[in-house]
Amino acid sequence: MSMRFQCAIAILLAGVISVMPGCRRQSDNPLEDGISAVARGDTKAAVVYLEQARVQNPADPSVLANLGIAHWRRGKTEAALQCLAQAAALAPSDPRPHEFIAAIHREQGRWAEAWNALGSANLRQPNAPRILTAMAAIDIHRKGSDNAM
């Protein structure tokens, strides 16, 4: 077998392996791997990667927020709320953990808790359209359409 043919086979096999499920190249950054796994919908892998990232950086609000999102997407709302609350405490000026907390409460029909979380987000980023829109939608559930914001 010629060297050229052997190289062609090696390149072909490398290409096939790289697109096979479970054969993705893993980086040295479990946070990036976890975020990528969440983005592609592989929340089980995301939790594994993000738990590794949490061991490496237990006080990183990005790790905790993304772990919270991964738990939420797996239906583990209490674990999600705990991670997001920790992220919010570690990044007191960031509205995003509060917005995700509100989304979880909204999904559960806990309108008052969702409203309070969005109020916290609004304090951190006043009058952001996405936050005000979410607050208006929740206010409709809380008060009815005639009495909302």
Those residues whose C-beta lies under 8 Å from the C-beta of residue 125, and which sit 6 or more positions away, are: 95, 131
Cβ–Cβ < 8 Å for 124, 95? yes
- Cα–Cα distance measured from residue 115 to residue 102, given in angstroms and rounded to the nearest whole number: 7
Instruction: Encode pLDDT of 72-126 as tens digits.
Output: 999 999 999 999 999 999 999 999 999 999 999 999 999 999 999 999 999 999 9
Shortest CA distance to 50 belongs to which of 138, 61, 122? 61
Instruction: Encode pLDDT of 118-143 as tens digits.
Output: 999 999 999 999 999 999 999 898 88
Instruction: Encode pLDDT of 20-40 as tens digits.
Output: 344 455 678 999 999 999 999
- Cα 16 from chain centroid (whole Å): 30
Q: Which of 26-30, 46-50, 56-60, 138-142 has the lowest mean pLDDT?
A: 26-30
Cα-based distances in Å from 48 to 44, 45, 117, 127: 7, 5, 27, 36
